[in-house]
Amino acid sequence: MVKKNLEKIVKRIRADIVQMISNSQCGHIGGSLSIVEIIAVLHFLVMKKGDKFILSKGHAASALYSVLSLKGKIKRKELKSFGKFNSRLQTHPINCVDGIEIVTGSLGQGLSTALGMALARKNRVYCLLGDGELQEGQVWEAAMAASHYKLANLCAIVDVNKLQLDGETKKVMDLGNLKKKFSSFGWKVISCNGHKISELILAFKEAKKENKRPQVILADTVKGKGVSFMENKVEWHGQIPDEKQKEKALEEIWR
Amino acid sequence: MKSPRQGYADGLVELGRKIVVLTADVGKSLKLEEFQKKFPDRFFNFGIAEQNMMSAAAGLAISGEIPFVSGLSIFTLARAWEQLRIIALSNLNVKIGGSHSGLSNFKDGATHQMLEDIALTRVLPNLTVIVPCDYFQTKRAVIEAAKIKGPVYIRFSRNEVPTITAKRKFEIKKAEILREGKDVAIIACGNMVFEALKAAENLSKRKISAMVINLHTIKPIDKKTILRVAYKTKAIVTAEEHQIVGGLGSAVAEVLAQTPFPIVFVGVKDKFGQCGKLEELMREYGLTSKDIEKAVKKVIKLKKCKRLR
């Protein structure tokens, strides 16, 4: 029942992303589509009152705005203002929207911010990062500190979509074995398919069970997921769909 | 004689449980041991990783804490400048204590000296920038910074310096007139305030009446006082232990750009520092009371020139 509902929500978020980005002619479609299941499971099933969320890969803002609108934190019609002059819904999130704690989009900083929030020991904190983002050295400073301070209330999710602006992550700057890297930094590592709702639910459950170490969920994803002609295509990192492409994308999403 | 860095540390101890203190392996250099001992659960060492520390401070501020990011100004601020920019953009309640500023880290040379931080901070919207002049003012700046909401950068130096403000109140933004005068206004900050007072005393023997203003808050800048003293004296000298480019002098010049009064800058002239005794460095880079006196004489000449025109 929950899963069925969530599948509907996931479609709605994907459609919102396509609409927002086509409408404003700006934004990052590929990396927004790849996080949809992750962000939906988190916000509609996993996160409880008081839990906090940081979207470190701020360029996926459109996905977050869609979620916040479905949660009633922003009005549905405000989504039309995404990326437009004088809008609160900047293409990278700013913290004048309820549910957004800090400006993100400058990659590599979100995990540190999340760890600072976790250090206050008041909330459980979730932080969503991109895999390309892990090339930033600061992420590993944060990884070191989170395990040093034994922040079991910190859970990172990496959207491993394997593509970045300039090409395949492997070719631009190979991240190597992420599982081994995080585990040698003292984290509990959980791997799952980032588009399978049931797998994500299990992964988050397992993460929450951990009471000594920070946890990272390595979510294997497809950049541009849900729109056949965008899937695994590096150019859809920042390309904007034209009218025809938009219609085709929406049709595929709702199919 | 007391060190501003001790003032910073004592201010933190006075704030105690109201704040959290973060450092990056320079707790000893900033005299933070007392705070750490008294409030161990409110003290976080991040190791030599300033960028993570700065963004983590943002997280602590989001969670309702008042974090004081404490370190050497060069690394804390410059290494993590873009992280600070995000804090300023998000207008988060993070305070940064930048110690060992100017040439005060004389033993460690150019890599560890900080002559660019006023420029780097005052360019950021939302950020308050304070440069206290002695132990007492640094301590009060810490306490006042904790009272205001939003990001604050406090710049101070490492060594013992004469105390000037033992009995003075401290109010953020309000420039202090420490000495009245009518021929010239010397606007200074940090350690140069004492040099300015020394210069003014010497100049009075030669019948030059110099006003001395401690412009401890560089941003938001006290335009009203600057304009008032400029119209009164019609000649300005600025003095700072910082690059002339982008520093206090530039900030004052921006305020006075639409006035006809001449300004002469005392500061570091587009050079990096080096090792040496502090006195040797201050002399080499033109940061002594004698340099201020020379600047005063120059600006008074310029003032007269303008009158002739």
B114-137: per-residue pLDDT in tens? 999 999 999 999 999 999 999 999
Residue B228 predicted with pLDDT over 60: yes
d(CA A216, CA B232): 64
Q: How far is A209 from chain B (nearest CA, A)?
A: 23
d(CA B283, CA B277): 10
Is the pTM for the entire model greater than 0.95? yes
Instruction: List strand residue ranges (DSSP E) for chain A, in order.
Output: 52-55, 125-130, 154-160, 163-164, 167-168, 188-193, 215-220
Match 């590592």 to its residue by tokens.
A189
Residue A56, both tokens: 């470190």
Contacts of B62 in chain A (CB under 8 A): 52, 101-102, 113, 116-117
Tens of pLDDT along chain A (255 residues) come to 577 799 999 999 999 999 999 999 999 999 999 999 999 999 999 999 999 999 999 999 999 999 999 999 999 999 999 999 999 999 999 998 999 999 999 999 999 999 999 999 999 999 999 999 999 999 999 999 999 999 999 999 999 999 999 999 999 999 999 999 999 999 999 999 999 999 999 999 999 999 999 999 999 999 999 999 999 999 999 999 999 999 999 999 999
Contacts of residue B118, Cβ cutoff 8 Å, sequence gap at least 6: B129, B131, B155, B189, B218, B240, B242, B246, B247, B248, B251
Q: What pLDDT is stored for residue B306 in this prediction? A: 58
| B251 SS3 class | helix
Mutate to test the interface with B, among A97, A112, A121 (most CBs of B within 10 A): A112
Contacts of A138 in chain B (CB under 8 A): 49, 51-52, 55, 83
Residue A50, both tokens: 């008081």
Q: What pLDDT is stored for residue B151 in this prediction? A: 98
Mutate to test the interface with B, among A94, A115, A141, A154 (most CBs of B within 10 A): A141
Average pLDDT of B178-192?
98
Q: Please check whether residue A120 touches B, CB under 8 A.
A: yes
Q: What pLDDT is stored for residue A29 in this prediction? A: 98
Tell me A34's DSSP state: T
Q: What pLDDT is stored for residue B18 in this prediction? A: 98
> Which of B44, B63, B89 lies at the smallest CB-CB distance from A117?
B63
Quickly count: other Cβ atoms within 10 Å of residue A97's Cβ: 18
> Which of A94, A108, A119 lies at the smallest CB-CB distance from B60?
A119
Residue B307 predicted with pLDDT over 70: no
